Structure 1
């Protein structure tokens, strides 16, 4: 199971990324765009995810992924059970979500100098 320390480690050093606390939720943003939000109980997180791939991911791995609340379904977002992923998969989810929020040039520069 990954925890908040693992999430912070996965987001550390990402250009333009910062952490905020909003109504008892730890969120990670680029500008005003939230790309990751940890549930108050720290058992799950929401993460930026291609909307067109969401249903397939949930159907393929229902123990890992679940739908966001109805008001968030219009966004490019998916929920993840933290006890169902390891640090490698966490890092992949974080990087993919972060890349959806930064300019392509910023992402390319970062990825050219860091391991995925």
Structure 2
């Protein structure tokens, strides 16, 4: 079943100290005011910040799901087509993006809670 904009928000906003605040006409998901994902007004895709090189690797391997548009070519953002990705993979990507932007103490607390649960 394809992921939805509601899935993006439910997964992202369940992460510690995550919030949504718009910028550039996009719904921007943040941790401590650092953007880790964003959606355009039509909410047909989500751009997710990944580790260096991971965005282009995904876009090359699965171009029907992932892309790196020209305006993201100098960043680590990857565009994910919501109608082509499932919720579990989306959750994995959003969690990794959150981890890349969250402060070390917040990540450590999250990892400790994950290990206990």
Shorter chain as denominator, the TM-score bin is 0.7 to 0.9
Q: Give 3-state SS (helix, strand or coil) of 2:101's partner.
A: coil
Q: Does the Cα contact within 8 Å between 1:51 and 1:77 map onto a contact in 2?
A: no
CA shift, 1:107, in A, is 1.3
TM-score (norm 2): 0.85
The CA RMSD measured in Å over matched residues stands at: 2.0
Change (3 A) 1:114 1:108: same
* Unaligned segments of structure 1, at least 5 residues: none
* Unaligned segments of structure 2, at least 5 residues: none
Could you give the per-residue CA deviations for residues 70-90 of structure 1, whole angstroms, max 9, x where no partner exists? 3x3222211110011111111
CA shift, 1:113, in A, is 1.8
Could you give the per-residue CA deviations for residues 30-84 of structure 1, whole angstroms, max 9, x where no partner exists? 23321100122111110011232222211111111001333x3222211110011
TM-score (norm 1): 0.86
After the TM superposition, list the runs of 4 or more consecutive aligned residues in structure 1 that deviate by more than 6 angstroms.
none
Q: Does the Cα contact within 8 Å between 1:19 and 1:28 map onto a contact in 2?
A: yes
Looking at structure 2, the residues matched to 31 and 83 of structure 1 have their Cα atoms a distance apart, in angstroms, of 29
**What's the counterpart of residue 49 of structure 1?**
50
**What's the counterpart of residue 91 of structure 1?**
91
Looking at structure 1, the residues matched to 110 and 82 of structure 2 have their Cα atoms a distance apart, in angstroms, of 26
Q: Does the Cα contact within 8 Å between 2:56 and 2:78 map onto a contact in 1?
A: no
Looking at structure 1, the residues matched to 95 and 75 of structure 2 have their Cα atoms a distance apart, in angstroms, of 18
